[in-house]
């Protein structure tokens, strides 16, 4: 596994990031993620390390009871301005302030790799997930073709986005981390950073970048899973009766 560290206290580092530029993703990314799940109104969803709360805003509009936790107070201020109907908490993903088995859905979308102790984050995620619940975890690939491999080819170094801790792993490395700490993976799909635009803002983003359209149409569909930029793991909780 590849690890990059910067000499900064994580909470202070993330407050600075969210005060200066934030961490936002294409809204279509979250529409696409939610479309992969049989969400039911009234069920409870926790987004660990929720950042600006983008996915929670969409989930709340679908009738879910939404909860967001983040280590950065600056991130939570932004999330509260942009979403409504969500309960937010300031806290560490390695020590969740929730009871056991309380959530139907637990998301960790591109955050677990930034934890000081990712294995503890998985154990906490597993603890608060209901026995019949689903966890959705997005993690970056050490050898993603259009991300790390091309970046190393162009620059001679691996991509570093400046977060306090950054890790990249292979699919087998991430699977081992999840399965050794209480989860069973029942599906894995690849993700390369952009999906079909589902909002006007994302459509305009593509109009300004015609090369991205060509890449999405003629290259991304043919990348094998182990070469995708990120993996999305669909997991359930390991129980005494699990095979």
In residues, how long is the chain?
243
Q: What is the structure's pLDDT at 105? A: 98
Domain of residue 126, CATH code: 3.40.50.150
Asked whether residue 169 is assigned to any structural domain, the reply reads: yes
pLDDT digits (tens, 9 = 90+) for 111-139: 999 999 999 999 999 999 999 999 999 99
Residue 185's contacts (CB-CB under 8 Å, 6 or more residues apart) are 175, 178, 179, 233, 234, 235
Asked whether residue 217 is assigned to any structural domain, the reply reads: no
Q: What is the structure's pLDDT at 234? A: 98
Would you give the distance in Å from CA 94 to the centre of its chain?
15
Asked whether residue 98 is assigned to any structural domain, the reply reads: yes
Total domains present in the chain: 1
Asked whether residue 215 is assigned to any structural domain, the reply reads: no
Q: What is the structure's pLDDT at 239? A: 82
pLDDT digits (tens, 9 = 90+) for 47-82: 999 999 999 999 999 999 999 999 999 999 999 998
- Asked if pLDDT for residue 194 goes beyond 90, the answer is no
Would you give the distance in Å from CA 197 to the centre of its chain?
19
Asked whether residue 110 is assigned to any structural domain, the reply reads: yes
Q: How far apart are CA 156 and CA 159, in angstroms?
A: 10
Q: Do the bridges between strand 44-48 and strand 103-109 make them parallel or antiparallel, or are there none, so unpaired?
A: parallel
Q: What is the structure's pLDDT at 30? A: 87
Position with higher pLDDT, 123 vs 209: 123
Asked whether residue 212 is assigned to any structural domain, the reply reads: no
pLDDT band at 195 (very low <50, low <70, confident <90, very high): low
pTM to 2 decimals? Answer: 0.92
- Range of the structural domain that residue 89 is part of: 2-26+37-194+223-237
Asked whether residue 59 is assigned to any structural domain, the reply reads: yes
Asked whether residue 203 is assigned to any structural domain, the reply reads: no
Averaged pLDDT of the chain: 91
Q: Which residue has the tokens 């073709």?
A: 145
pLDDT digits (tens, 9 = 90+) for 132-184: 999 999 999 999 998 899 899 999 999 999 999 999 999 999 999 999 999 99
Q: How far apart are CA 33 and CA 116, in angstroms?
A: 26
Q: What is the structure's pLDDT at 220? A: 74
């Amino acid at each position: 596994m590849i690890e990059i560290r910067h000499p900064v206290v994580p909470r202070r580092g993330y407050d600075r990031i969210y005060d200066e530029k934030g961490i936002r993703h294409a809204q279509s990314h979250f529409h696409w993620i939610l479309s992969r799940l049989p969400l039911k109104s009234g069920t409870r969803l926790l987004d660990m390390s929720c950042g600006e709360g983008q996915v929670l805003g969409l989930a709340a509009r679908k009738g879910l009871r939404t909860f967001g936790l983040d280590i950065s107070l600056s991130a939570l201020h932004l999330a509260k301005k942009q979403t409504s109907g969500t309960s937010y908490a300031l806290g560490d993903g390695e020590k969740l302030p929730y009871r056991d088995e309380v959530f139907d859905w637990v998301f960790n979308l591109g955050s677990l790799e930034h934890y000081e102790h990712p294995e503890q984050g998985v154990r906490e995620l597993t603890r608060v997930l209901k026995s019949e619940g689903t966890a959705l975890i997005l993690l970056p690939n050490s050898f993603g073709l259009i991300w790390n491999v091309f970046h190393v080819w162009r620059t001679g170094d691996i991509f570093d986005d400046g977060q306090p801790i950054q890790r990249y792993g292979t699919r087998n490395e991430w699977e081992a981390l999840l399965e050794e700490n209480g989860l069973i993976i029942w599906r894995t799909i690849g993700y390369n950073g952009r999906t079909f635009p589902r909002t006007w803002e994302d459509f305009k983003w593509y109009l300004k970048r015609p090369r991205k359209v060509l890449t999405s149409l003629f290259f991304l569909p043919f990348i094998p899973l182990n070469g995708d930029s990120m993996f999305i793991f669909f997991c359930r909780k390991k129980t005494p009766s699990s095979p």
